[in-house]
A and B are shown apart, each in its own frame.
Chain A
Amino acid sequence: MRNLLNLRLEARPRVPLAMALASPFVAVAFTLLVCAGLVVWAGAPVTRAYALLFESAFGSRFAIGETLTRATPLILTGLSCAVAFRAHFYNIGAEGQLYLGALGAVAVGGSAIALPAPILFPLMIAAGMAAGALLLVVPALAKTRLGVDEVVTTLLLNFVALLFVSMMLDGPMKDTTAMGWPQSVPIRPELEFGKLLERSRVHVGLIIAVALALALWVVNARTTLGYEMRAVGANARAARFAGIPVDTVMLKTALLSGALAGLAGVGEVAGRAGYLTLDMSPGYGYSGIVIAMLAGLNPLGVVLAAVFVAGLIVGADSMSRAVGVPTYLADVIVAVSLLSMLFAAMLARYRVRWS
């Protein structure tokens, strides 16, 4: 035991590209192996369960459509977390920001404001993004001004945001025609996102999400803001000495992160449902954290990781109905992938030596 604990981690002078690229796949393979035990426990044949999972996620036009529809909010929450984590601002509140974003979209898009749709449409999107960003103002200021850890504040605000949405759906934004079901008024039909594929639910939000991933990649690699965010994340003290306004960068990062999560909520309302309910997100905000980590905080990697997680959610649903494995298997796979990904990424960066 004592020897086992006495290991040393030596940073590799250069991370071999092959190792960096292979680590997510090794992590996922390891995860599927571990989770096979759970499938056996549920009394289902492993290969058939996994085959069904893959088929119902990617095996047909319909399946791909469903996966991409699910991936749309996940790309945005993944980007939200990736941007924030890169600057070491641990925004764990994407779930609440998503709901406030959706609420903002409904507040504008479902209101009686007599403006033509082309003007109202950008207003609706801006309202959702602003609402998401607004939720992060307090945690960001509390962190930079008072040194309050943002993890706990953003986590707690998720509960506050959901209760606030619930209050609005009981009160001013309630759809009185919905038979007492807590559901918001619908947004105006002409404000809904267009469909990308016939006979599927894939909507324009997907294009927006992927475009934003590209844009963030450029911001990250090629702009001053990206450089500053990376510097603050790498070493805030050194960044301050170098004359980077750390607090301002932190606040900007937080607002950007919140706006991205808010946009995910706008997309769910305007692209998919048309209105807001309290069960709109099956934890997209929390999955965003995993997606960002799986992607190594790389905006382009986020797109791939989001499609992977979306495929798991969609696939587990049909697989569960066919062979009776609880859908929670998807959540376990996501959680174990996160932990094994952390482990694999560490092995790629460091050499382990026992002394």
Chain B
Amino acid sequence: MALMKGASFVCRALEAEGVDYIFGYPGGAIMPFYDAIVGAKFKHILARHEQGAAFAANGYARASGRVGVCVATSGPGTTNLVTGIADAFMDSVPMVAITGQVRSHLIGTDAFQEVDIFGITLPIVKHSFLVRNVNDLPTVMRDAFRIARTGRPGPVLVDIPRDIQEAEADLKLLPRDLEVERPPAPSKESVDKAVQLLKESRKPVVYAGGGVGMANAIEEFRGFIQATQIPTVHTLKGLGTLPYNDPLFLGMLGMHGFKQSNLAVQECDLLICIGARFDDRATGVLAKFAPNAKVIHMDVDCSEVGKLRKAEAGIAGDIRPALKAMSFPLPQIAAWREECLKNKQAYAWKYNAPGDGVYVPAMLKELADRADDKTIITCDVGQHQMWVAQHYGFRRPEHHLTSGGSGAMGFGLPAAIGAALSRPDCRVICVSGDGSIMMNIQEMATLKRYNIPVKILLVDNQALGMVRQWQELFFAKKYSEIDLSDNPDFVRLSEAFGIPAFFLRERKDVPRAIDRLLNERGPLLAHVSIEQAENVWPLVPPAKSNAEMVIGDHNK
């Protein structure tokens, strides 16, 4: 019998899972683990804040499809992970968060750096463990990774008291049970019903979400669209499921969706929702969403089917065989398809904003046109995030890393770090705003330390732009706490971190800036100054249906 410390076993379990990077920050209650990782097969990336570590693990997982791992000590270390864990929960990202806890006998005594992170995170994890016995570690570690990546992925918390990390026991790795990890096949009755609805439909629309990519169903999805020739709209997280240059790609739907997308949904007679969840940003007023449509709802998570909208056919489980069964020609929809494609042409964005200043939609379109197939874009949250979704054309969903459900400012830069490490074959560009970048600016130090070749495209309007836009449109231009005109000099700030940077303001300088972003080695920051008055259009006002969108100034 070979005894092993709990902390050493956790390291061996991570190695056995094939983990190559973990992201964390040490502290008192997690010190045995940090002692054990010296010489481990995986590399530890020292973030400069635990939130940065959580978002980096999150970005690592989103870009690669593998489980991301973050580590923190007890108390404030764990609470700093919370936003990253919540983000992973909202966007179904496979992640394992390992946290140190005070010694078992101190739990519940308000000990130094004791926080009930198990209780705090209950609503934002797929599952969680508080390890009470060192002999439970083999089961806990195997199950944590299985639960994180199986079915609808999500974050799992493993909280390990310090004495459990230090305890010795005869601990052996448990094998993975691949059968348990396979999603169940959908019922034949549900697929037959969907086939019948497709045959009866004259005006179908596919509404595709992030669940398609997560189910590894891109090939089957594209085969389904190719066979049926159904016009397709995407959620924020579904972008790239169908390549942006596919004729049947109508664009994003919802609050900042394109007119042709929202019109198609409002007028369709059959809505085929695949890996999406009728999120309020996509539907607007739910009761007025796709008012004339029957619904086929396909999702690996059966609890999503019918949660918010009745489904005439609900297909729960592995969507791939169902998509194959539904892939046949629909000659009766030709006129409808032509109508949708005409609308797509009529409402195509014109990129004709007046003036000499940088026009972000045009800059992002040029960036997409010139970047190759192996470019990953991470975003922060706000106006720039919506411009990326609307105007950067994606070819794969895992090339678009955005905080969709939780909308967490500060996501972009650390997520880019994780993405760059998990996909060294890809170029990674973080598009951020002047509000968002400051929320995790400390991770510039992480970029520098590990010389991670992330490019940052910082769009600066010296304001919290999306809040400003809403105050302009819906709060009678009464601007409240959105001014960021005292921003630091971002070029000098970047250089202080040891990262080269440059500034641009004029439209004519955009091609050269993109040259640098695409071609220079190592990390780089481009600081782009834009007009504050530039807003995101189209926009569906609050409490309105998607049919009542406002188009804005430049695209009339």
A and B found bound together = no
